[in-house]
């Protein structure tokens, strides 16, 4: 039987995952489909039951279900357990639902694809203290990148998240701005600057040292104001397209065993978004 996959979320119409996975299926000669399914928060349980009954082979999970789906998952891998969030489900042969999370590793791969990451990268500043910040930080730690300092609008949350990391520490936005020149990698994980709806910057990156790598997980717009200021201050910048593509590529590999072409996909999505 033809295999099929899905992405569930609310909203879902804007998701670029269906196009991306359908392209990869086609390019790799795999007979399968991938569809977006709009699932509201109070419909999650029935959605999971239905996907299983209808023979779905696996699905991606996006906002707002990444944590809420956990009670309906049979087995979690270590990353999903540690993050308390699932973005990829694989339905095993015996019907077991296996939950994984490829977001953090997706970020690290996109970083590694773009820039040489030696030990010279030094201190890392993560802006934000939500799900994205923790996933990325676990993956950075796993890759041996750090120590990590967290900064967040609500300082208590930065402090809280930092306690989960052996080398973690926390700063207020103001203190992070003052210390910004010491960081070799800065990762912006908040929603500030997304979709042009929330304009502005979480903190001012103008004091960075030239050559600092500055990443923003937002991909629409391709260059947030935070990235623009960082670039103008001598930073090497990275937008969120790579993370999006790589988290998808890791899901694709878990489902099919095939590693898809990420560079071509990043190029194509960037062109599409740049034309907006």
Select 78 or 156, whichever has its Cβ closest to ligand ATR. 156
The residue from 87, 137, 152, 251 that contacts ligand ATR (CB under 6 A) is: 152
Q: Parallel, antiparallel, or unpaired for β 123-127 and 97-100?
A: unpaired
List own/partner pairs for 110-116 with CB under 8 A and 24 or more apart: 110/238, 110/241, 110/242, 110/243, 110/245, 110/246, 110/266, 111/185, 111/213, 111/215, 111/238, 111/242, 112/143, 113/242, 113/246, 113/262, 113/263, 114/238, 114/242, 115/213, 115/236, 115/238
Residue 189 as a binder of ligand ATR (CB under 6 A): the answer is yes
Interaction pattern, residues 16-35, with ligand ATR; x per rule: CB under 6 A: --------------------
Minimum distance from residue 230 beta carbon to ligand ATR (Å): 17
Angle between helices 155-162 and 131-142 (to 10 degrees): 30
Between 87 and 256, CB nearer to ligand ATR: 87
* Cα of 208 vs its chain's centroid, Å: 24
Work out how close the CB of 225 gets to ligand ATR at its nearest, in angstroms, rounded to a whole number. Answer: 13
264 is catalytic: no
Give φ, ψ of 210 to 5 degrees: -55, 135
Catalytic pick from 52, 66, 75, 253?
66
Distance CA 124, CA 150 (A): 9
| Count of beta carbons in the 10 Å neighbourhood of residue 149 | 24
Identify which of residues 104 and 131 has a Cβ nearer to ligand ATR in the complex: 131
Binding mask 119-138 for ligand ATR (x = CB under 6 A): ---------xxxxxx-----
In the list 3, 81, 82, 157, the residue contacting ligand ATR (rule: CB under 6 A) is 157
Closest residue to ligand ATR, based on beta-carbon distance:
130
Q: Which residue has the tokens 């993050």?
A: 83
Stretch that binds ligand ATR, among 178-186, 190-198, 230-238, 264-272 (CB under 6 A): 190-198
Asked whether position 190 contacts ligand ATR by CB under 6 A, the answer is yes
Determine the interface stretch with ligand ATR among 11-19, 41-49, 136-144, 187-195 (rule: CB under 6 A): 187-195
d(CA 25, CA 110): 21
Cβ 180 to ligand ATR, closest distance in Å?
16
Cα(228)–Cα(222) distance, integer angstroms: 10
Positions touching ligand ATR (CB under 6 A) are 128-133, 152-154, 157, 189-192, 198, 202
Active-site residues, by number, are: 66
């Amino acid at each position: 039987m033809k295999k099929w996959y899905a992405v569930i979320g609310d909203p879902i119409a804007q998701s670029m995952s269906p196009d991306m996975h359908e392209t990869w299926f086609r390019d790799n000669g795999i007979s399968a489909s991938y569809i977006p399914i709009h699932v509201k928060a109070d419909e999650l349980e029935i959605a999971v039951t239905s996907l299983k009954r209808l023979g779905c082979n696996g699905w991606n999970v996006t906002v707002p279900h990444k944590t809420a789906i956990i009670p309906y998952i049979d087995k979690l891998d270590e990353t999903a357990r540690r993050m308390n969030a699932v973005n990829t489900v694989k339905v095993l042969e015996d019907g077991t639902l296996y939950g994984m999370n490829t977001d953090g590793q997706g970020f690290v791969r996109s970083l590694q694809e773009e820039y040489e990451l030696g030990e010279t990268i030094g201190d890392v500043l993560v802006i934000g203290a939500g799900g994205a910040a923790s996933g990325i930080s676990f993956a950075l730690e796993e890759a041996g990148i750090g120590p990590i300092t967290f900064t967040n609008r609500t300082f208590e949350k930065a402090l809280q998240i930092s306690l989960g990391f052996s080398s973690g520490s926390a700063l207020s936005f103001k203190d992070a701005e003052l210390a910004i020149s010491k960081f070799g990698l800065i990762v912006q994980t908040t929603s500030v600057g997304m979709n042009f709806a929330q304009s502005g910057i979480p903190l001012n990156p103008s004091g960075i040292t030239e050559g600092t790598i500055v990443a923003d997980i937002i991909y629409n717009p391709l260059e947030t104001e935070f990235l623009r200021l960082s670039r103008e201050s001598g930073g090497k910048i990275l937008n969120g397209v790579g993370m999006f593509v790589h988290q998808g590529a890791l899901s694709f590999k878990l489902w099919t065993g095939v590693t898809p072409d990420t560079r071509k996909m990043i190029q194509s999505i960037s062109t599409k978004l740049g034309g907006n």
